[in-house]
Chains A and B, each alone.
Chain A
C-alpha cells in the first residue's frame, strides 16, 4: 500500500470535517477523490500530509507513519495544492528551480529536471515570465510543474483544474495520466465527475467527511438500481402522464422538471422504445428526447439523496 488511512477524524471547532475517514491507495493507481464542495477533500489531503492536526486515526505512507519529520517520505511526495503556491517575484523558471532545489542539490541535474518539467506542462516558451503575466490556465500548469519537477513517486493533486480553460484542462489531465504511466501513484481530488471518470483507475466518493463508496466507475455504477436515464420534452406536462409512466415495466423513477420528463430505468433495461410507444398511442405531443447511461452523479444521488453539484 502506498497510503493507508484509518479512522481519520478531524474537527474545526464544532464542525466535524472528517468523520472516521478510511482510504487505501495502491501502487500505480490514479485514485480519484470525488465529493461536493465542503465534503472534506482538502482537509483529508492536508491531514495525510501532516500539515493539519487531527483528533484521531492513523496515516501510513509506504508502510511508515507519516509525520512532519518523516523527511524520507516527504522526499517521495509531490504536492499540488488547491491554491496556487508560487512566488510572484520569481519567474516561471526560478519558481520551479526554487522548489526543485529543496529536493535536488546537484545543479546540472536540477537544470535538466526544471526544463523537463516546463516541457511537461507546456511552459517552455514562458521561462522568463512572471506569474502575473500568465493566464489562469498557464498559472495552474506552473503550479503543477513546481510540484512534480523533482519526480516524486506519489503525486497528490487537490483540484488542479479549478477555473481552467478546456485546453489547459486537457493538458493537465493528459499530463497526470502520463506521470502515472511513468510509474507515479496519483491521488486526484475533484468535484468534476467527468474528469474523475476520464482519468482515474479507482474512485472514492466522499460526502460529509466520509467515504461513501469506492471502486472503478463500472463497479460504482453497478452499485445503484437505476440504469439508463431518459429525458423527454413534453409540451403539456400533466400528472396523469407521470402516473402512467411509473406503471410501465422496469421504471425506477419518473419526475417532471418544468416541461422535461425524466425517467430512470432499472439497470441493464432499455425503456426508450416502450416510452415512445406510450407517448404515441396516447397522442401526447413531445419535442426533444435523449437517453444517457448512468453517471457518477446518479450514483451520488442514489446514495446521498442529493446532487453532486448544485
Chain B
C-alpha cells in the first residue's frame, strides 16, 4: 500500500506544473539573477584577483619562505581567498607589462624584496601591505631565531601559517565574495520553504472538506492518516530532489562555493525541506479559506522569512539577530541560513546543531497541529 500511494503521489506532484515551477524553476531563476547581479557588482566594485608580475631570478628562487607565501596567496584552489594572479617573468618583460596596463605591480629581488608600482590605488595598497606584512613577520622570525636557534624549525612553520592567516583575513575583509554566498544561503532557505506548496497540496487531497478526491479516498478502507503520511513522504522526497538539483546548479554551473562539508550541508537541506513541507501542511490544515488564500499566505510567509534572514538586504539577518533574537529561532529560513553560516565560519558544530534542533522542534510543532486537524474524520460540512 505504501508504494502504491507513494508512487502515485510522486506522479501527481511532479506533473503539477505550478508546483514544480515554484519549487524548482523559480529558485533556479532567482539564483541565476543573483549570480548575474553579483558578478556585475564585483567586477565594478572591487574584488578580482590582482595581476602582478614576479621577476624569477636566483634570489627569488632562494627565498623559499616568500615563494611559499606567494604561492598560497595566488592558489586558485584557495577559491575566494586567492589574492594574486602571478606571472613569472624577467624584469624587462615585467616592465613592459606594467606600462601596457596588464599588471598592477612588479615584485623583484635585489638585495631584498623590491616593489615597482605605476600608480596608487586599492590594488597597489594591497600589494604593498602584503609585502610589508611579509617583511615584518620575517624580521620577527629572524629575531626569534637569533635569540633561540632551536626554535628555527618550529618558527618557520609558524610564520608560514601566519601568512595564510593574513591571507584569509585579507580575503574576508575584502568582503564581496562572502556576502554573495550569504545571498545564496537565503535562496536555498527560501527554496526549502517553498516545499510548503507540496505539503499544502497533500492536506488538500486528503481532507474531504477541501477536495472531492479526498472524499473519495476517505471512503476507502485505508486509514486516512496512513494515506496522509505516505503522501507527505512523497512530498518531502520530491522537494529534497528539487533542493539537490538547485544545489548542483549553484555549485556546478554557477560555481558558488559552499565549502566542503557536504554531509552537513545535506543534513541542513533535509531538515530544511522537512520543515518546509510540514509548514505547508500546517497552513493548509489550520487556515480557513480557499486554496488561493493559502498559497498567498505561503508565498508571503516564505518571502518574509527569507527577507528577515537577509535575502534582499544582507544586514537584515544581523539586525534581527541582535534586536529580536527570539525571532531568529522561530524563523526557519533564518535557522537554515545560520546552519550554512556556521559551517562556513566556525570550526565547532555547536551553533550548527542548535539550529538543526530548532528546525526539528519547528517541524514537530507543525506536524502536531496538522495532526490535530487531520485526525478528525467527520466534517460539519463539505
**A79 at the binding interface (Cβ < 8 Å):** yes
**A50 at the binding interface (Cβ < 8 Å):** yes
Which listed residue, B227, B377, B381, touches A68 by the CB 8 Å rule? Answer: B377
What is the interface size of chain A, counting residues whose CB is below 8 A from a CB of the partner?
32
Nearest-neighbour CB distance to chain B for A86, whole angstroms, equals 7
Nearest-neighbour CB distance to chain B for A122, whole angstroms, equals 21
**B11 at the binding interface (Cβ < 8 Å):** yes
Question: Known contacts A85-B213, A87-B213, A90-B8: does B221 contact A50 (CB below 8 Å)?
Answer: no
Residues of A within 8 A of B378 (CB): 50-53, 68
Residues of A within 8 A of B208 (CB): 51
B380 close to A53 (CB less than 8 A) = yes
Closest to A50 in B: B378
A74 close to B219 (CB less than 8 A) = yes
A99 close to B217 (CB less than 8 A) = yes
Residues of B within 8 A of A99 (CB): 216-217, 220
**A94 at the binding interface (Cβ < 8 Å):** yes
Which listed residue, A71, A83, A87, touches B12 by the CB 8 Å rule? Answer: A87
Question: Known contacts A51-B208, A51-B378, A105-B1: does B12 contact A74 (CB below 8 Å)?
Answer: no
Interface of A, secondary structure class, is loop
Residues of A within 8 A of B15 (CB): 89-90
Nearest-neighbour CB distance to chain A for B12, whole angstroms, equals 4
Which listed residue, A72, A74, A90, touches B220 by the CB 8 Å rule? Answer: A74
Contact with A along B1-36 (1 / 0, CB 8 A): 100110010011101100000000000000000000
Question: Known contacts A90-B12, A98-B8: does B216 contact A147 (CB below 8 Å)?
Answer: yes
B221 close to A75 (CB less than 8 A) = yes
CA distance A94 to B213 in the complex (A): 14
Residues of B within 8 A of A53 (CB): 378-380
A94 close to B379 (CB less than 8 A) = no
Closest to A42 in B: B382
Which listed residue, A52, A69, A90, A105, touches B382 by the CB 8 Å rule? Answer: A52
**B222 at the binding interface (Cβ < 8 Å):** yes
**A163 at the binding interface (Cβ < 8 Å):** no
**A164 at the binding interface (Cβ < 8 Å):** no
CA distance A89 to B357 in the complex (A): 36
Nearest-neighbour CB distance to chain B for A252, whole angstroms, equals 42
Closest to B218 in A: A51
**B316 at the binding interface (Cβ < 8 Å):** no
Residues of B within 8 A of A51 (CB): 208, 215, 218-219, 378-379, 382
Interface residues of B in 218-248 (CB under 8 A from A): 218-224, 227
**B212 at the binding interface (Cβ < 8 Å):** yes
The chain A residues found within 8 Å of chain B, CB to CB, are 12, 46, 49-53, 68-69, 71-72, 74-75, 77, 79, 81, 83-87, 89-90, 94, 98-99, 101-103, 105, 146-147
4 tightest Cβ-Cβ pairs between the two chains A and B: A68-B377, A85-B212, A102-B220, A89-B15
The chain B residues found within 8 Å of chain A, CB to CB, are 1, 4-5, 8, 11-13, 15-16, 205, 208, 211-213, 215-224, 227, 377-382
Q: What would be 9 A-B contacts, judged by CB atoms less than 8 Å apart?
A: A51-B382, A52-B380, A52-B382, A71-B221, A77-B219, A84-B212, A87-B213, A94-B11, A103-B221
